[in-house]
Amino acid sequence: MSDASPTTVPGTVLDEDGIRRTITRLAHEIVERNGGLSDLVLVGVQTRGVAIAQRLAAVIGDFEGARPATGALDITMHRDDLAARGLTARPRPTDLPHIEGKNVVIVDDVLFTGRTVRAALDALNDFGRPRIVRLAVLVDRGHRELPIRADMVGKNIPTAHEDDVRVLLSEEDGRDAVIVVPNGGQA
Amino acid sequence: MSTLAIHNARVIDPALGRDGIADIVIVDGRIARVGPNEGDAVIEADRIDATGLVVTPGFVDLHTHLREPGFEYKETIASGTLAAARGGFTTVCAMPNTMPVLDSRAAVESVLREAESSGHVRVLPVGCITAGRAGKELSPAGELARAGVVALTDDGDAVGDASLMRHALEYSTVFGLPVAQHCEDPALVRDGHMHEGWVATRLGLRGRPASAEETMVARDIALAELAGAHLHIQHVSTAGSVAIIRAARARGARVTAEVTPHHLTLTHEEVAFGSSTDFRSIVYNANAKVNPPLREQVDVEACIAALRDGVIDAVATDHAPHAVSDKQLEFDLAAAGISGIETAFGLLMTLVHSGQIELPTLIERLTAGPVRAWRLDRLPGLEGIGTLAPGALGDLVILDPNAEWVVDPTEFASMGKNTPLTGRTLRGRVMATVYGGKVVHALEGLAV
Amino acid sequence: MTTTTVPPIESTKPASEGAWRHQHVLDLDDFGRDEIETVLNLTDRMREVLDRRIARVPALRGHTVVNLFYEASTRTRASFELAGKVLGADVISLTASASSVVKGESLIDTVRTIRAMGSDVIVMRHSSAGAPYLASEQIGTGSIVNAGDGAHAHPTQALLDLYTMRKHFGDLTGKRVVMVGDISHSRVARSDMWGLAAMGAEVVVCGPPTLLPRGLRVGDRPAHAETGLPRVRVETDITKAIEGAHVVMALRLQNERQQGGLLPSMHEYALQYQVTAARLAHAHPEHLLMHPGPKNEGIEIAGDVASGQHSIIEEQVTNGVAVRAALLYLLCGGTATEALR
């Protein structure tokens, strides 16, 4: 398999090692773009973005000797499609460090339509005014519905719109993997 | 000369002690002959084949609200008496809580006139105990008796003033009128909307305690004994009342009593849970709101026992039709009462099918029992009422004790659709009703 | 490319976390523990929103909440208004004057009209027990929240009480909660009993016999109806009732009770049933003191204990907004699944 593959890639697209390497690379990119650790805050989007932000902070801690601040942001109540998703929408905790004037990196697992990121930007506004907000994602699967792009991408995965991209992390799911389920598993 | 022949029925006539297969021949509105194969001797007649069915005297209801005059949006004499016919009742005693109330000769006569012109069965008016039903002064009982009332009551409310009640009882003896009391002490039921018990607690409603009835039953029996008068206890609903009446009758007090089909079969759980025994969620069913309220199982059982052994003389429906707009309200604002005359027989048959009362006994409490309680056969023109004796009124009912049907109030003849029984299957049905020799109700499919 | 079978992806969280089965919130009698926990967990999130610099999220943008109050209540109404506004809903408050609560002015018509105007949730307070049930039977889609009906139920108050207790104890299993006062007329007590029973707490109610409703003692109802009311212990002696209590809740006593002949005097009541420091000495050393408000200090509760170190009365008020926000969120989220209930 290849990153350049133009067609839908079914099955596992990243395994445990792949995720580890991707996160290491993302960590270096984040520090590089920020010009070091100063004022850096990693804000994970609930739920899996939080785990990824924690892992990024740990990796950065290893090679920089200090961990950046991290936080968790739940955007459930900032989504604009509550009625459509109905009962699946259960908010998780939001727990942010001081973000006023900081260089915030929003961290999420999958970038898809961009609506989650828009909601995250709205939500951040309620907590303060960061100097810069950047976006880092583990996977970009395309099909944006809003003018949003990631500053740092772990892996680009071409998908069909109806495919389901599932990021599994040991913190939430007991193991690490990124899986593409064609046609949402309904095929 | 018109002749109606009913063939091959099981004829139950408790007043005469008859229970067996027979034909009945009615000529010109009166019972002519009753006996095996009597119908075959009649040459020209309308005929009904009642094979497998039960024929009894027409039922007599001591307690019916016809609502006219004044509340024609709830019921009229025409609709109420048609409902009665469909329920098997050929005589109904009309309660006086109309508007105007029946406390004058003119009001009573207007009811009789309307019944004459639009009624489907016999209407016997009942007059008020107190003027205006206000509980302050006596009504003119003599004038009312001459106008044709068969008893006195302030039903809907009790006469709370003990002294006034004593005088009403004393005065009634001149005219031989029973004084019928709705026994609920006003002070004890104030702001109460259902039986005081665990269900009222569950619903957060103020209750009407059983003792509100029992204290007044005891009081009025003592007053009746003092006055030497005939007291009739309306719609007995508690085990305590039954015990008090039982003791009074044992010592010879002139006290009679009635009980309704709903108090014989339903409990206060009906209000919150219907027939469900799942207590997790509740409703506020205003169609089960009635005064006196539906009580507890022990009360139901005591009432059944009293009906069985005759301590309670009669089943009376307390048919209380209301408009939807009276019932579809906050529970405490909703009117009290059940439209019950069309479901009475089917509901009562649950007691027969469960072995709690014998069919002939039940029939007695619907026919000879009420007649005896109020001595209705003493009245001119009512000789033989409640029996199928030759020469008696041609009032009878044809019953199928086993026919099952589902209660659907939209099919009621009564304008009152207020029943808690909607959707319930009852076993036991009135197939036809004959009043004065004329068929006033017959279900389709009855072989004529 | 190998074809991999899709592995089952299941959350490690218990399935009950998001349990919610209600279209309406009328009382807690038909709530499972799982649903109560859903509300309380969500209330944590709402507390978090309320603590933000800008305490407002757009979760219910485009939804309309109508407060329909047939009975005055500044506190509960304000609490629901704030809850709706924090979530970005449009909130309209209607106070129906007492004079319109007469026959002819049909509650059903009013509710149907409000629903036809596009409300998603009608929050209703009414002096008649069961009025929200009547409304819920007629409304079709949309939700009714009972904000207090007569002497029957006050489920949102009970949920905030449960939330406040859980904040302090973590788990309510086996905790002894004692409610003192006018149990007969208290809709708070009724709903609290159901909620506490569902959460595994031990409930004691205490008051003079004239203010205790019938049928509460298990032996007072027939065996088949044991589950018809929550299992509680009934006491008329306050010292005995408070013994070992983890929570003591004083209920508001209304003046009408004296006029209705249920009490000799307010003074006599205070002598017999006031929650005082001396009486609280019999409670668990770590006990909490609660009151649903508004309180009559010097009648059902002594002033010094109401503001003392065990009192969490202020906290109850704060939590009220969060609990109500959680309920509105759940009910509006539920509009997509009308098949529920």
**At A68, which CATH number?**
3.40.50.2020
Across the interface, do B328 and C106 touch by the CB < 8 Å criterion?
yes
pLDDT recorded at residue C188? 97
Sheet of C64-69, strands arranged across: C90-95, C64-69, C121-126, C143-149
Across the interface, do B279 and C225 touch by the CB < 8 Å criterion?
yes
Determine phi and psi for B238, rounding to 5 degrees: -125, 155
C100 falls in which pLDDT band (50, 70, 90)?
low
SS (H, E, C) chain A: CCCCCCCCCCEEEECHHHHHHHHHHHHHHHHHHHCCCCCEEEEEECCHHHHHHHHHHHHHHHHHCCCCEEEEECCHHHCCCHHHHHHHCCCCCCECCCCCCCEEEEEEEEECCCHHHHHHHHHHHCCCCCCEEEEEEEEECCCCCCCCCCCEEEEECCCCCCCEEEEECHHHHCCCEEEEEHHHHCC
Which sign, positive or negative, has the C-alpha torsion B400, B405, B411, B416?
A: positive
- Asked whether the predicted pLDDT for residue C104 surpasses 70, the reply is no
Beta strands in B69-184 (DSSP E): 89-94, 122-125, 152-153, 179-181
Q: C-alpha dihedral over B317, B323, B324, B325, to 10 degrees?
A: -140
- Asked whether the predicted pLDDT for residue A142 surpasses 70, the reply is yes
Structural tokens at position B428: 């036991």
> Could you give the residue ranges of the DSSP H alpha helices within B140-238?
141-147, 162-172, 186-189, 198-203, 210-227
* Structural domain count of chain A: 1
Contacts of C258 (CB under 8 A, 6+ apart): C264, C265, C266, C269
Mean pLDDT on A92-101: 92
pLDDT recorded at residue B113? 98
| Contact between B74 and B98 (Cβ < 8 Å) | no
Any domain includes A2: no
Mean of the per-residue pLDDT values of chain B: 97
Determine phi and psi for B43, rounding to 5 degrees: -85, -55
Any domain includes C278: yes
Say whether domain B57-378 belongs to CATH 3.20.20.140.
yes
Query: Which of the 8 DSSP states describes residue B293?
Result: P
Mean pLDDT on C312-325: 94
- Distance CA(A19)–CA(A175), nearest Å, equals 11
Pair (C136, C184) in one structural domain = no
- Asked whether the predicted pLDDT for residue C7 surpasses 60, the reply is no
Residue B332 touches partner C, C-beta closer than 8 Å: yes
pLDDT recorded at residue C138? 87
B161: three-class secondary structure by DSSP: coil
Q: What is the pLDDT of residues C208-264, one digit of tens each?
A: 999 999 999 988 899 999 999 999 999 999 999 999 999 999 999 988 888 788 999
Nearest-Cα residue of chain C relative to residue A175: C9
Contacts of B116 (CB under 8 A, 6+ apart): none
A145 falls in which pLDDT band (50, 70, 90)?
very high
Nearest-Cα residue of chain C relative to residue B334: C103
In angstroms, the separation between the Cα of residue B57 and the nearest Cα of chain C is 40
pLDDT recorded at residue B447? 65
Across the interface, do B201 and C149 touch by the CB < 8 Å criterion?
no
Nearest-Cα residue of chain B relative to residue C134: B330
- Asked whether the predicted pLDDT for residue C336 surpasses 70, the reply is no
Any domain includes C67: yes
How many CA atoms within 13 Å lie on the side-chain side of C207?
Answer: 26
Structural tokens at position C36: 């109560």
pLDDT recorded at residue A40? 97
Q: Which range scores top for mean pLDDT: B198-202, C46-50, C58-62? A: B198-202
Across the interface, do A174 and C12 touch by the CB < 8 Å criterion?
yes
- Asked whether the predicted pLDDT for residue A2 surpasses 50, the reply is no
- Asked whether the predicted pLDDT for residue A126 surpasses 90, the reply is no
> Domain range holding C189?
155-313
Mean pLDDT on A11-40: 95
Q: Which amino acid is at A11?
A: G
pLDDT recorded at residue A10? 67
- DSSP letters along C76-93, please? HHHHHHHHHHHTT-EEEE
Contacts of B77 (CB under 8 A, 6+ apart): B66, B68, B94, B111, B114, B115, B118, B119, B123
> Domain range holding A25?
11-81+93-185
Pair (C46, C99) in one structural domain = yes
**Rounded to two decimals, what is the model's pTM?**
0.90
pLDDT recorded at residue A81? 62
Mean pLDDT on B377-381: 93
Mean pLDDT on B99-125: 98
Residue C58 touches partner A, C-beta closer than 8 Å: yes
Residue C190 touches partner B, C-beta closer than 8 Å: yes
Any domain includes A88: no
Pair (C246, C274) in one structural domain = yes
- Asked whether the predicted pLDDT for residue B368 surpasses 50, the reply is yes
**From the CA atom positions of chain B, what is the Rg in Å?**
21
Mean pLDDT on B395-405: 98
Q: What is the pLDDT of residues B50-99, one digit of tens each?
A: 999 999 999 999 999 999 999 999 999 999 999 999 999 999 999 999 99
Any domain includes C329: yes
Percentage of the residues of chain C whose pLDDT score is greater than 90: 72
B291 falls in which pLDDT band (50, 70, 90)?
very high
pLDDT recorded at residue B343? 98
Contacts of C115 (CB under 8 A, 6+ apart): C122, C139, C140, C141, C142
Pair (C72, C32) in one structural domain = yes
Pair (C65, C146) in one structural domain = yes
Pair (C196, C289) in one structural domain = yes
Going by DSSP bridges, is the β-strand pair C202-206/B425-435 parallel, antiparallel, or unpaired? unpaired
Structural tokens at position A179: 């899986």
CATH number, position C105: 3.40.50.1370
- Distance CA(B18)–CA(B368), nearest Å, equals 12
Across the interface, do A90 and C42 touch by the CB < 8 Å criterion?
yes
A52 falls in which pLDDT band (50, 70, 90)?
very high
Chain C: touching chains (3 or more CB pairs < 8 Å):
A, B
- Residues of chain A in contact with residue C11, where contact means CB-CB under 8 angstroms, are 172-173
Any domain includes A3: no
* Structural domain count of chain C: 2
Active site residues of B: 318
Pair (C104, C225) in one structural domain = no
pLDDT recorded at residue C5? 45
Mean pLDDT on B274-282: 90
**Higher-confidence position of C1 and B439:** B439
Beta strands in B152-291 (DSSP E): 152-153, 179-181, 194-195, 207-208, 231-233, 255-259
Any domain includes A87: no
Closest to B198 (Cβ–Cβ): which among C30, C153, C221? C221
pLDDT recorded at residue B409? 98
Any domain includes C6: no
| Contact between C54 and C88 (Cβ < 8 Å) | no
C17 falls in which pLDDT band (50, 70, 90)?
low
- Residues of chain C in contact with residue B280, where contact means CB-CB under 8 angstroms, are 29-30, 227
Mean pLDDT on B339-363: 98
Residue C30 touches partner B, C-beta closer than 8 Å: yes
pLDDT recorded at residue A7? 47
Mean of the per-residue pLDDT values of chain C: 89
pLDDT recorded at residue A84? 56
Going by DSSP bridges, is the β-strand pair B46-49/B54-57 parallel, antiparallel, or unpaired? unpaired
Contacts of A123 (CB under 8 A, 6+ apart): A73, A74, A75, A78, A94, C57
Mutate to test the interface with C, among B71, B196, B198 (most CBs of C within 10 A): B198
pLDDT recorded at residue C105? 62
pLDDT recorded at residue A185? 62
CB proximity under 8 Å: C 305-334 to A: 329, 332-334
Percentage of the residues of chain B whose pLDDT score is greater than 70: 99
pLDDT recorded at residue C53? 83
- Asked whether the predicted pLDDT for residue A33 surpasses 80, the reply is yes
Mean pLDDT on B248-258: 97
Residue C261 touches partner B, C-beta closer than 8 Å: no
| Contact between B208 and B237 (Cβ < 8 Å) | no
Determine phi and psi for A2, rounding to 5 degrees: -145, 145
- Distance CA(C114)–CA(C117), nearest Å, equals 5
- Residues of chain A in contact with residue C14, where contact means CB-CB under 8 angstroms, are none
Which H/E stretch holds residue C135?
helix C131-139
- Asked whether the predicted pLDDT for residue C341 surpasses 70, the reply is no
**From the CA atom positions of chain A, what is the Rg in Å?**
16
Closest to B297 (Cβ–Cβ): which among C29, C187, C222? C222
| Locus of tokens 């139920």 | C153
Pair (C143, C179) in one structural domain = no
- Distance CA(B401)–CA(B140), nearest Å, equals 44
Any domain includes C122: yes
Mutate to test the interface with A, among C38, C40, C57 (most CBs of A within 10 A): C57
